[in-house]
Structure 1
Amino acid sequence: MDYSSIVVHAPGLDGSRRVTAGDERLGIAFHLADVVKILRRADVDLDEIEVEESDIIQWQGGGPDDWPGLRE
């Protein structure tokens, strides 16, 4: 997989965020833990990167702490 093409897209109306790698849709995340699970399923070596601060993950429409649909 081309790690340089991993994108966590801007939140949708429900707060979910698509996760893609190039043209491949990897999954839908509702919080940061979902992003981690999606990347593990895609065989991204999470021992080599820090999901929240990695240069190989592009966060669009907000960073890893921005989940507007999430209510505590």
Structure 2
Amino acid sequence: MASDRPVVVYPPDEQGGRRVRVDGTILGLAYSVRDVAAFMQEAGLQGWDEMDVVRSALIEWRGGGLDIWTR
């Protein structure tokens, strides 16, 4: 299933980490919304914080929303 959003946060793994993909590249595992914000900054969206992640329409949350960090 292709996403029309440039950022995809995948379902949590057994340790609670969620892969974060930006424009087709996996940036790493996030364990919180703060981690997702850090990945967004690495991708060039300087100044992004947790509230930007919460409000963003750029992010597709798979396997649960931004409040799901356990399997």
Q: TM-score, normalised by structure 2?
A: 0.77
C-alpha deviation, 1:5, in angstroms? 1.6
- Partners of 1:7 and 1:55 lie apart in 2 by 11
1:57 maps to 59
- Partners of 1:27 and 1:40 lie apart in 2 by 13
Structure 1 runs of 4+ with >3 Å offset: none
Name the one with the larger helix percent. Answer: 2
Q: TM-score, normalised by structure 1?
A: 0.76
In angstroms, what is the RMSD of aligned CA positions?
A: 1.9
Unaligned runs of 5+ in 2: none
% same residue? 35
User: How many residues are matched?
Assistant: 65
Unaligned runs of 5+ in 1: none
